Every structure is written in C-alpha cells, then in structure tokens.
Structure 1
C-alpha cells in the first residue's frame, strides 16, 4: 500500500528503467480525481487497447469517449516500445473487480483467486497501462513492445517496493474482461521478476530493424474499413501480382476494389467459395509479401 507517485517521480522511475517516455500535452493534470479517490495504490494492471496505430490509440486513451471519459489509463505502450503518458491520477481503466483479488495483490500472493465479484473500485488502487494490440489472439506482440511493458511495470514495482506479484492482467481483476490476450500473465510476471532482479541503469534497449514484410493486422481490422498506408502497400502488391480490380489507385482507404482485388489473389492461390471472399486471411497475406510500412 503506497501513496501514488507524483508526475515527476513517475517519469523518473520509467526513465531509470530504460523506458522511452513520451509526455502527452496536459497529461500531468489529466485525471478523474473529481469522481473518486486516487490511492492508496497497490499494483499495476496490464490491458490491451483493441486498436491499431499509435496516434489513434493514444488519442482514445487520452480523450476517452462519451460513455467513458479519459484518461483511460496512465500510459499507452505502443508497438515500437514507447510509453505515452496520458494521465496522472485516477483513470477509467480498471473499473469494478473482485476485492479478494485486491487482497491477494496487497499480500503479493503467488496465486490469485479467480475473480467472481464486482465489489471493489479498481481505479482507486491500480496504475493502468494500455498496450496497443487488437486483442484477437492473432495480432503479434513485438519483442520491443513486450520489453517496454515489462520495464514499465517493473519501474512502478521498484519505485513502490513491490514484487512482480503486484502486476496483474485486467482479466485477472474481473471476469468481464479478456485482456491482455496473446501471452500468459504468469510468464509476464516472471519477466518482471527477472527485471527487478537486475540493477536499472537507464539504458534503452536497441530497437530491432523493421521486418521485411508487414505482419498480418487481423481479419477484423480490414472489416472496419481502415484508412492506412498498409492498405496502399497491399494494393500495390495486388497490382504487381496481376490481381488488380482498381479503376484508380490503390490508395490508403479500404474499398470494395481492394476486396475484389484480394479475392482475385485468393483465387490465384487456389482458394474458392467463402475462402475467396476478398477478406484477407493470415495464409494468403503471408503469401502476398506486403512490404513493411511504419504506421503512425
């Protein structure tokens, strides 16, 4: 049980752990303190955003939306391993959860009880990091992002004198959530524990070179009709392999011409019926070899 870190102390703790920090304008006074208490704090909750792209993810976490005003966390951890600070104080991220889980976190027990109640306000007690990921179990977690997540969690644990048992997933706080999806929290805590066993030197990990080809962004991503440089890169590859149905372009906005072109690519690969409906899948996407583009 601890008093929350000041804005300066939070930044210092993150930087000491080797985290690349980006301070969103106004984050130091952006909070929901007028709606309830902030602290004492007892731990850290890890979330996934169900969004893609850095700017869009940071914007929604800072601003929130009509039903849930921002900030929606304290920091947004992006695919390239940066931590964007968007709130300082009470944030709308944890919501109601199980008081027995809170007791286990406070006691730093190795095993958490399964959450089955909604009887405790988690926004009082937990820092929150929203990590950019579609949350579909297919969107990859780059090593540089996972490393930043581990470092950010370890920074808060180190600053408060907590162990890695003070770090939980949103799904471990409440049965109404499934995040984070795509890795085991037990493995994540083991990495935090290993990090806490090292002496922080403030060094930032080197960023690996970008992959040659664009990772599959997930089937649902396309069905949201995205506007992205990824769509342009995909369209250019479809033209290059002789599957164009474009009257003009291709461009960044997903259109029916993209879907028709992609269906031609699927049929060229030997797919038919519903497997050639024009909605990209992981196997056909890998075969297309869309060049990597940095999405912001």
Structure 2
C-alpha cells in the first residue's frame, strides 16, 4: 500500500532504471481522476493491446475509444522497448477485479484464481499496455521483455515491493487472458533478479530542467484579430499551436483544428475556457469573447506548462 508519487518522481524512477521513455503530450495531467480516486496503489498490472503498429497503438491507449475514454494505461511498452507515457493518475485499464487477488498482492503472496469482480482496480494499480496482438502467435521481442522487466522493477523499487506486486490482467479479472504469450514465471524471476541489484546511478552532472515554452499575449491578441486573413494564409506564430494543444487536452477543441492559426474554432474553444473560469458574454469586448486576457491565458499556462509574456 502506498501513496502514488508525483508524475516527475514516477518519470525519474523509470529513467533511473535505464528505460527509453517517450513523453506523449500532457501525459502528467491526462487521467480519469474526476471519475474516482487514484490510490493508494498496491501493484503493477500488465496487459496486451490486441493492436498492431506503435503509433496507432499509442493513439488508442491515450485517447481510448467509444464507451471507454482514455487514458487506458499509464504507459505503452512498444515492441522496440520504448515506453510511451500517455497518462498519470486514474486510468481505464484494470476494471473491477477480485478482492482476494488484491489482498494477495498487498501481502505479496501468489494470487488465487480470480472468480469475482467487485473491487476497483483502476484506483489501486499502475497499468502498462504492451504492444501485441494477443493471439499467442505474435512474438515478444527481447527488447520489449526487457522493458517490461525494467518498468516493473522501477515501480517496485520505488515502493519497496517485490515481483509479487506485479500481476497480469488475467490474474485480476475473470475471463481475461492478457498478456498472452509471456512466460510469467520467468518474468517474475527476471524482475526479482533486477530488484536484487542497485538501480543505475543518477548522472553526477546536474542537468537543467527543460525550459517551458512561452506564449506572448500581445501576439495572440494580434493573431485573433487578423486570423484567418483575407489572403487565406494563416498567421505564423508558434504560440497559437501551444494554446491549441492545451485546449485539445481540456476537451474544448478537436484535434482537427490543432493547426496553428487562430480561426473560428479556436476562438470558440477559448470562449468556452473563459466561461469555465467564470467569465460571461461572447460578444466582442466582453469577458468570454474568445480573445485571451492575461488571467485566462496565465491560468491555462499554469495548468499546461507554458509561461506567459507580454
């Protein structure tokens, strides 16, 4: 039983284990926390995706599909061993499962056969989807198996758990078969062996934190006033795409309109963001008119990791 670490600490644990990490969009704040609690956490759960193609798989596990919104896991382990982080917090991956299995994971004992589904696993487990068709024929490359070993060990090392805290979806929920095709006894031995050694040392040379992107309020206001121009050529300002990406993550703008120019759809999304903050009135000059003021832009930036300049 443990409190989930911050997204930054979680990332550090994975990097310190020597994993190749791909950060996908605003993964640190992409979650289902509004639908229920996240934590205390008790273990790691592994799945297969029943998909083919890394880019397509990443999109599915990040965005979900009709009837099951994303994220569908915290990370997707590709066949080449890269781990794509798509969310952090509550994720739609485990569903309801067996309370006896949960008790066994907490006690770090071999789980019994699952025969009921009454406990919320999305609250209590880290979830990792693994790119595989799940037909028992699709191979598991060594690079992917090594990444599964490292991911599991990284999280167990952080919490002080053993490999007994790593389970399969099939251990948790009746009727599930994933991740099909992995020699599970061998994988548990690999994880325990890795946990018996020290994690690779952190770099001794301090590295500067990544610089946050900045967005100019004045340039955004100008873009909103002249875009789309009569010539049909979009206004060229990178900050427009930065705020559009944030609006996409807020669910206010369709990805189709993440195009870098401040058109009608972007203005409507900005208006909805302003209304969410309590501003009212969409006519020009009113508080929710789709043109950023300093407060509405700063609050979007604070949430999505960019700074605001004049």
Alignment partners' CA distance in 2, 1:104 and 1:59? 33
Counterpart in 1 of 2:157? Answer: 158
Counterpart in 2 of 1:185? Answer: 184
> CA offsets, 1:131-155, max 9 Å, x none?
0000000000000000001100100
Alignment partners' CA distance in 1, 2:23 and 2:44? 19
1:175 deviates by 1.5
1:205-224 correspondence to structure 2 within 5 Å: none
1:200 deviates by 1.3
- 4+ residue stretches of structure 1 with deviation over 3 A? none
1:90-169 correspondence to structure 2 within 5 Å: 90-109=90-109, 111-169=110-168
Counterpart in 1 of 2:37? Answer: 37
Alignment partners' CA distance in 2, 1:181 and 1:189? 15
Alignment partners' CA distance in 1, 2:145 and 2:138? 13
> CA offsets, 1:59-104, max 9 Å, x none?
0000001110000000000011000000110000000000000000
The runs of 5 or more residues in structure 2 that have no matched partner are 203-310
Alignment partners' CA distance in 2, 1:202 and 1:73? 28
Alignment partners' CA distance in 1, 2:183 and 2:42? 21
The runs of 5 or more residues in structure 1 that have no matched partner are 204-296
Counterpart in 2 of 1:3? Answer: 3
1:187-202 correspondence to structure 2 within 5 Å: 187-201=186-200
> CA offsets, 1:9-54, max 9 Å, x none?
1110001001011100111110000000000000000000000111
1:184 deviates by 2.7
1:185 deviates by 2.1
1:202 deviates by 5.8
TM-score (normalizing by structure 1): 0.67
Alignment partners' CA distance in 2, 1:202 and 1:175? 41
Counterpart in 2 of 1:271? Answer: none
1:176 deviates by 2.1
Counterpart in 1 of 2:83? Answer: 83
> CA offsets, 1:258-284, max 9 Å, x none?
xxxxxxxxxxxxxxxxxxxxxxxxxxx
Counterpart in 1 of 2:57? Answer: 57
Give the count of matched residue pairs: 202
CA contact (8 A) 1:18 1:202 kept: no
1:5 deviates by 1.7
Alignment partners' CA distance in 2, 1:108 and 1:23? 31
> CA offsets, 1:156-176, max 9 Å, x none?
000011111000000000112
Alignment partners' CA distance in 1, 2:96 and 2:201? 35
1:190 deviates by 1.2
CA RMSD between the two structures: 1.0
Counterpart in 2 of 1:69? Answer: 69
CA contact (8 A) 1:51 1:132 kept: yes
Alignment partners' CA distance in 2, 1:138 and 1:66? 28
CA contact (8 A) 1:15 1:202 kept: no
> CA offsets, 1:175-225, max 9 Å, x none?
12100000232221111101101111169xxxxxxxxxxxxxxxxxxxxxx
